[in-house]
Amino acid sequence: MEAHLPDMSHGQNGRAAGRPLINPIAALCADCRPANRQSPRTNGGRISRPDIKQQHIVIPPGMDIVTEGERSRGVYVVCDGWAVRYNRLGPATRQILDVLLPGDTFALAATISGTSQHSVQAITSVSVCLLNGRQIVSLLKTDAAFAFGVLQVREADERRADARLTMLGRLSAGEKLGYFMVEIYDRLQRRGMANGKGCPFPLRRNDVADALGLSKVHISRALRALRAQALVDIRGQDMFIPDVAKLADHAGYAMD
Amino acid sequence: MEAHLPDMSHGQNGRAAGRPLINPIAALCADCRPANRQSPRTNGGRISRPDIKQQHIVIPPGMDIVTEGERSRGVYVVCDGWAVRYNRLGPATRQILDVLLPGDTFALAATISGTSQHSVQAITSVSVCLLNGRQIVSLLKTDAAFAFGVLQVREADERRADARLTMLGRLSAGEKLGYFMVEIYDRLQRRGMANGKGCPFPLRRNDVADALGLSKVHISRALRALRAQALVDIRGQDMFIPDVAKLADHAGYAMD
DNA sequence: CGTAATCTTGACCAACGTCAATGTTCGTGG
DNA sequence: CCACGAACATTGACGTTGGTCAAGATTACG
C-alpha cells in the first residue's frame, strides 16, 4: 500500500495551517478541561460562558454514558479518559464508530435531532462535562460565529470519518491496525498527550477488533506481525511507535 | 443478521418526524433544481437568493467534477444526474465514500478549509449548480439560522456515514449489497424519484464494488444470490425491489 | 454488423473467522 | 507475601468468505 489516505490535518485554512481548530463547544468548558488549558488561543473571547449550565460526571470503565435510542440529555465534553462511540448489531456484535479522547465532544447530533443514534461507552474511568442542550441549540441558532465554528469542527470530523471509511474498505488487516494506532497517536500528540515514542492505549484487543471490523484473534496476529517489523508495540496500557513516519507510511496515514 | 442498523431518517425533531430536512444550500438553487420544486416547504423565506452568484455546468459521464487536492471553486448542488464522492488509494484502487443524487450538495468542506480532500466523478451526465464559495462562507458566518440549518443537514449526513461504516465493518457481502441498494432506493423515494417497485440505477458493478470494498466479481455473485431470493434485481440502468421491507430487513436497514 | 466495454461464470487461492486449548496479567483475600 | 480466580491475550488447527485470473457471454454503440 503506497498511496496515502486523505490528509487528516486540522489546518483550517490554507493560510492558517498548523493552528489546530478550536472546538467552540469544548471551549465552553475550558475551565474544567486539562487539554484545553494547554491551548488558550483566541476563540472570539468566548472562553467559559457562565450562563451555560454545567454538570460534571465521572463514569466508571465499561459503563454506557449514552445509549442508542435514548432521549438527549445535552452535549458532553470529555474532560479526561477514553470512551468509544458505537452501534450494536446484535447481542455479540458491535461496530465502534470512533474513539473519543479528552477534548472531544459528543451527543450534539442527538441534541439537535432529539434522540441518540448510537451509544457511548467508557473505556477507562471517564470524566465528562454535560452542557445544557437547549442552551447550546439556542446559541447555535442565534450566534453565527459559534455555529460556524461548530460547523468547521464537524467538517474536519467528516474528513476523518471519510478516511476511516476508506481504510475499512480497502486496507488489509495489518494496515488497518497500523492506521488505527497511528491515528490515535497523532490525535493525542496534537493535544500534548503523547511523547515522541508512544502514548497511552487502554483499549482491549476486543475493542480494536470492533473498531476495525476484524476478529479479536486476528488482531493478535496482525499485532504480532507489526511488532516483528518494529512498527508498533502494545505493552500493558501503552503503545510504542519506534518510528512514527514509518508506521504512517505503512498504513497510508497522512500525518500533517 | 437480525438487528437493525441505526435509523437513517431525516426526522429533524421527535415532534417533526416525517418532514424532510431542507438543505439551506440546495435551497439557494431552488429555481434550478427539479427535486426542489417538488417540496416547496418553508425554509425561512430564503428560497432563491439572487445575490449568490450561480453558474450552471454540465459534466459528461466519467469526468471528475472536483479532484482531490485541488483548490475549492465553490459549493456545488446536484441538479440532475448521479455522481460519486471517492478517494483514490492507488492507480487501480479507490473507495467510493458516497453516492450523490439530485438535491445533494458537495465541496462545502473544501470551501471552508481551502482544498478538497476527495474527488467527485460524474456517473451519468450530471448538471450541477456552482455557488460562490466566498459568499456561502460569509452567509454562514453572519446568518445563524442559515448556519444552523446547514449544521442540521451535516448531522444527518453524519448519521448516514456512521451507518455506512457499521455496515462496511460488520455485514456480509450480500448484506452490504442489499443495504447499499435499499439505501439508494430510500433516498430517491423520499425525493419522489422512485416508484413503488424500483428506481434508476446507473452504477456499474465496478462502482458498487468500489463503494462496498469488494471485488466486482463478487458483486456479480452476491447479486445473483439476492436475485435468487427475489430481494432485488438490476436490469439495465434500473433496479427493481419486489418487497422493499423484506430487502431492508435482510440488510438491517432501518427505513423510516 | 463489428468492436469495445461490461458482465458472468468457474477454478483456484489467500485472508480472515471460529473454536478450543494454553498463557498471561491483575486484583483479591488469606 | 503468596494463592487463587477472573478477565484478557496468544497460539494452533481448520473452515469459510471473498479475491484473482482467465475464459466466455452479453450489452452498448458506432
Nucleic chain C contacts, protein chain A, residues 220-239, CB cut-off 7 A: 222, 236
Residue B48, pLDDT above cutoff 80: no
User: Which nucleotide, over all strands, has the C1' atom closest to the CA of B222?
Assistant: D18
pLDDT at B2: 43
Q: Strand C contacts (CB < 7 A) among B residues 81-140?
A: none
What is the model's pTM? 0.89
User: How far: B118 CA to D15 C1' (Å)?
Assistant: 39
Q: Is B33 a residue whose pLDDT tops 70?
A: no
- Looking at every residue in chain B, the average pLDDT score rounds to 87
Residues of A in contact with B108 (CB under 8 A): 155
Q: Which of residues 198-227 of B touch strand C (CB under 7 A)?
A: 204-206, 216-217, 219-221, 223-224
CA angle at B196 for the pair B10 and B178, rounded to the nearest 5°: 70
| Residue B129 contacts A where some CB pair is shorter than 8 Å | no
Count of CB atoms within 10 A of residue A57's CB? 13
Mean pLDDT value across chain A: 87
Query: One digit per residue, pLDDT tens: chain A, 256 residues?
Result: 445 555 544 433 333 344 668 899 998 887 665 544 444 444 444 445 556 777 899 999 999 999 999 999 999 999 999 999 999 998 889 999 999 999 999 999 999 999 999 999 999 999 999 999 999 999 999 999 999 999 999 999 999 999 999 999 999 999 999 999 999 999 999 999 999 899 999 999 999 999 999 999 999 999 999 999 999 999 999 999 999 999 999 999 998 7
Contact A87 B6 (CB under 8 A): yes
The CA–C1' separation of A173 and D14, in angstroms, is 20
Instruction: Work out the average pLDDT over B205-210.
Output: 98
Cell of A239: 503503545
Task: Give the Cα separation of B106 and B176 in Å (integer).
Answer: 24
Contacts of B145 (CB under 8 A, 6+ apart): A141, B44
Which among A113, A146, A147 has the least Cβ separation from residue B12? Answer: A113
Q: Do A117 and B159 touch (CB under 8 A)?
A: yes
- State the Rg of chain B over Cα: 18
Cα–Cα dist A161/B50, whole Å: 34
pLDDT at A22: 86
Antiparallel, parallel or unpaired: β A126-131 and A54-59: antiparallel
pLDDT in tens, B148-200: 999 999 999 999 999 999 999 999 999 999 999 999 999 999 999 999 899 99
- B19 has a pLDDT exceeding 90: no
Mutation target vs B (from A95, A111, A119; most B CBs, 10 A cutoff): A95
In which band, very low, low, confident or very high, does the pLDDT at B16 lie, cut at 50, 70 and 90? very low
Closest CA to A239 of A213, A203, A215: A203
Sequence-ordered list of residues with C-beta below 8 angstroms from that of A186, at least 6 positions apart, any chain: A8, A244, A248, A253, A255
Residue A43 DSSP SS3? coil
Å between B219 CA and nearest CA of chain A = 14
Task: Please state, in angstroms and rounded to a whole number, the distance separating the CA atoms of residues B82 and B247.
Answer: 23
Report yes or no: A99 and A153 within 8 Å, Cβ to Cβ.
no
Q: Say if the Cβ atoms of B170 and A213 lie within 8 Å.
A: yes
pLDDT of residue A192: 94
* Sheet of A75-80, strands arranged across: A54-59, A126-131, A75-80, A105-106
Distance separating the N- and C-terminal Cα atoms of chain B = 19
Q: How confident is the model at residue B6 (pLDDT cuts 50, 70, 90)?
A: low
A and B: number of Cβ contacts within 8 A: 166
Mark which residues 179-208 of A lie under 8 Å from B by CB. none
User: What pLDDT is recorded for position A9?
Assistant: 44
How many angstroms separate the CA of residue B215 from the nearest CA in chain A?
10
- Contact between B178 and B251 under an 8 Å Cβ cutoff? The reply is yes
